[in-house]
Amino acid sequence: MSEVNSSLSLANPHPANYNGTQKLGLALIAIGVLSLALAWVGIGKDQALYFFIAMLAGLMGGGLIYFYGTYGKLPAGIKNNRVFFSSIASRGALGWMLGIILTGFYISLYFFPKYLNGLISLFDPLSQLVRGKDSDQWFVYGTFYTIAVLVMGIKFMMKYRHNRYQLIRTSSVTFFQLILAWTLPIIMENLYNYGPYLSYFWPLDYDAIFPGSLS
C-alpha cells in the first residue's frame, strides 16, 4: 500500500540533506549559470574572458565537486536510489522547465542565432585561442556538448568505479568526443584551412554533409 502524506506544508517533507561538499558544488554551479545568463543578455560582452572562466569553472568545477560529494565517500556499487522519483526525471516541474529551455535553445540555434549573440560572444576567447577567429553558434554547441560529455563521463566513472566495463566504456566515449569530435576538426581547420567544421553535421547541422554546401 502506498504511503499517503496528508501534510499541507509547502516545505519538502523529505529534505535531501546535502553535505558540505555538495553545497559547495551547487554554489559553484549557480555562479556558472549566473555568468552564463549575464553573458547571454550581453552584460559581459566587454569582459568575455572573465565571464567565460567563471562559467566554465562554475559548471565544470561545481559539477565535479558535487558529484564527488555525492559518490566519492560512499562504498563502490550501483546507486540508483529514487532516481526515477526526482522532479527532473519523473515529469516534475524541473523536468518540464528543462525541456522547454532545451527546446527553445535548439530552435534559436537553428532558426534565430541572432538571439544567441551574447552567448556566442562568451566563447570568443576560447575560439580565438584554438581557431584564431570569433565563435559561432555551432562552435558554442560543440563546446557545450563536449563539456557535458566530460563532466557526466567523470560522474559515471565515480558512480560505476567498481565496474571495469563501465570505466572503459565511459573513458572511450569521453576520449573520442574530446579528441575526434572537438579537437581534431580544429587542428585540421588550422593546418589545412579546411572550411567545413566536421562536427557541424552531427548531430544538428545536417546541411553540411550535402555536396552543394561544401567548398
Q: Give me the phi and psi of 200, to 5 degrees please.
A: -60, -45
pLDDT tens for each residue of 89-106: 777 788 889 899 999 999
- State the residue range of the domain holding 195: 132-210
Q: CA-to-CA distance for 22 and 26, rounded, in angstroms?
A: 6
* pTM for this prediction: 0.78
pLDDT of residue 146: 94
The 10s digit of each residue's pLDDT in 23-57 is 999 999 999 999 999 999 888 778 889 999 999 99
pLDDT for the residue numbered 207:
60
Residue for cell digits 570569433? 134
For residue 165, tell me if it sits in a domain.
Answer: yes
* HSE toward the beta carbon, residue 70, CA cutoff 13 A: 20
What pLDDT was estimated at residue 210?
Answer: 56
Instruction: Decide if 29 is inside a domain.
Output: no
Residue 191 domain-assigned (yes or no): yes
* Domain presence at residue 123: no
| 79 in any annotated domain | no
Kindly report, residue by residue over 190-200, the tens digit of the pLDDT.
Answer: 877 765 554 45
Report if residue 46 sits inside a domain: no
Q: What is the pLDDT of residue 6?
A: 54
- pLDDT over 80 at 12, yes or no: no
Q: Does residue 205 sit within a domain?
A: yes
Q: Residue 39 CB: number of other CB atoms within 10 A?
A: 24
106, part of any domain: no
In this prediction, residues 116-120 reach a mean pLDDT of 92
* Total number of domains in the chain: 1
| Mean pLDDT of the region 56-85 | 85
Which residues lie closer than 8 Å to 36 by C-beta, 6 or more apart?
A: 55, 59, 119, 122
